[in-house]
Amino acid sequence: MSEAPRAKPGRSRLRSVLGLALAVVGLWFGFAVLNLTDGAGELSSGEKALRIVFGIVWFAFWIGAIVYNALNYQSASRSKKTG
Average pLDDT value for residue range 14-28: 94
In the predicted structure, residue 36 carries a pLDDT above the cut 90: no
Total domains, the chain: 1
Alpha-carbon distance of 51 to 12, in angstroms, equals 35
Asked whether residue 6 is domain-assigned, the answer is: no
Asked whether residue 38 is domain-assigned, the answer is: yes
Asked whether residue 78 is domain-assigned, the answer is: yes
Asked whether residue 20 is domain-assigned, the answer is: yes
Average pLDDT value for residue range 11-28: 91
Question: What per-residue confidence (pLDDT) applies to 38?
Answer: 76
Asked whether residue 18 is domain-assigned, the answer is: yes
Put simply, whether the predicted model's pTM sits higher than 0.85 gets the answer no
Asked whether residue 5 is domain-assigned, the answer is: no
Alpha-carbon distance of 46 to 69, in angstroms, equals 34
Q: What residue numbers bound the domain in which 71 lies?
A: 13-82
| Residue 62 binned pLDDT confidence (cut-offs 50, 70, 90) | very high
Asked whether residue 23 is domain-assigned, the answer is: yes
Mean predicted lDDT score pLDDT of the chain: 83
